[in-house]
Amino acid sequence: MSTDTQSVHGTQRFLQTAFWASFKEAHGWKAFFFKADPSGNLRVSGVPDSDEENGKGGPTQNEDCLTVLVRTFSLKIKKYSLAYIPMAPEMKEGEEHEAYLERLCGIANKIRPFLPADTMFVRYDCPIDFEDIEGRDTFVRKTGQIARQKKLPLRIAPVAVQPPDTTILDLKKSEDEILASMKSKWRYNIRLAAKKGVEVSCYHGDEADFPEKFDEFYRLFELTSERDGVNFHGKEYYQDLIGRSRMAHSEGCGETGTSPLVSLYLAKHEGDYLAGIITLFCPREAVYLYGASGNIKRNLMAASLLQWTAIRDAKAYACPEYDFYGMPPTDDEGHPMHGLYLFKTGFGGRLVHRPGSFDVPLRPFSYRLYIAAERARAFFFRKIVKRLKGR
């Protein structure tokens, strides 16, 4: 189990940044910001890195930032809200399992007065990395046992918000070392794509031709959705993500900064756009967020060259690691996304398995109704919709 903390990297995960909070606020969420001292005391704060935070009321050196996202929705005349804390808090070095769970419950109680009165629960995506599935599953099982024994108001959520399984590439290695750690077929595919004339270009939201290039990407995105049975956000969601990021940066992919840089990469061959990816670079990590591919010239291995180009850019940006961000948990040939597992693990990263989402109910009755609806929705999309589409 790895419990890398913010103090190790000196920065936050991208889901805890002010940039991500601002982006989510533009798409139906409301952000609350808190500071936590080493004793666990919490206080409400302004937006991280703002003038207010850099002045008199700013955080002290030993305080951790905590971003809480709240979503409110209506059922006829009554409103309901849920609070979501993505990829936080980190598990402290040497912290016992029980103490960590107690801290989750304590944080939920401390932030409750600042949340809407109708908030049903606080959901956490816990950023704890396990090298094997058995260790992760044991942690989740013990979480339920500890919660029952200690009568902690904590539940294991039926679905995970962020992908719990991924592979992460160490960018502190040299390019030659990274290539050497790949499977030989992946090195061959990268060279093949370049030799056959596949061209990869990087685009940002303030460039004159960005709308045209993004249309090409979204066309590939729709093909991917139809082919693989994956549901995506609307077009404006991704356009806004890239556009907002670029506002904080004046030049291209190679400049570092405190705000994440989100980029669009497209692979093209003789006038045909073959594949595209959207990546995020920040001082803590590089993340492969979204990908799309067409149905032609798949033998040119454009996706491999796309990833290698983004990996090299992330390394030049000084990101310490490249997170491929989501895949099946095992090499199960029967899994419908088995090909994705093979593709992402072929680049030689370390496998990571996270425990998923945990909930602290604030309004038990409303919470039970919500969870029942969430389970029903998950069953509908995972079982019924995929069967209707023949998958």
Task: Output the DSSP codes for 244-309.
Answer: HHHTT-SS-TT---SS-EEEEEEEEETTEEEEEEEEEE-SS-EEEEEEEE-SS-GGG-HHHHHHHH
Q: Kindly report, residue by residue over 302-351, the tens digit of the pLDDT.
A: 999 999 999 999 999 999 999 999 999 999 999 989 999 999 999 999 99
Q: Of 248, 323, 337, give the one whose Cα is nearest residue 279.
A: 323
pLDDT at residue 8 above 70? no
DSSP designation for 93: T
> Is residue 63 pLDDT above 80, yes or no?
no
| Angle in degrees, 0-180, between the axes of helices 235-246 and 18-25, rounded to the nearest 10 | 140
Q: In what order do the strands lie in the sheet with 272-281?
A: 199-203, 261-269, 272-281, 286-293, 321-323, 165-170, 350-353
Report residue 255's pLDDT band, with 50, 70 and 90 as the boundaries. Answer: very low
Please check the confidence at residue 41 and state whether its pLDDT lies above 70. Answer: yes
Q: Between these two residues, 63 and 102, which has the higher pLDDT value?
A: 102
pLDDT at 391 exceeding the cut of 50: no
**pLDDT band with cut points at 50, 70 and 90 for residue 48:** low
Residue matched to tokens 């709308």: 211
| CB 168 within 8 Å of CB 322 | yes
Find out whether 170 and 315 touch, Cβ atoms under 8 Å: no
Number of Cβ within a 10 Å radius of residue 163: 16
The C-alpha atoms of residue 313 and residue 290 are separated, in whole angstroms, by 17
Residues in the chain, total:
391
What pLDDT score was predicted for residue 240?
Answer: 95
Q: What is the mean pLDDT of residues 118-130?
A: 97
The yes-or-no verdict on residue 256 having pLDDT over 50 is no
State residue 246's pLDDT score.
Answer: 83
Q: What dihedral angle (degrees, nearest 10) is formed by the CA atoms of 84, 142, 374, 356?
A: 50
Q: Is 7 exposed, middle or buried (0-12, 13-18, 19+ CB in 10 A)?
A: exposed
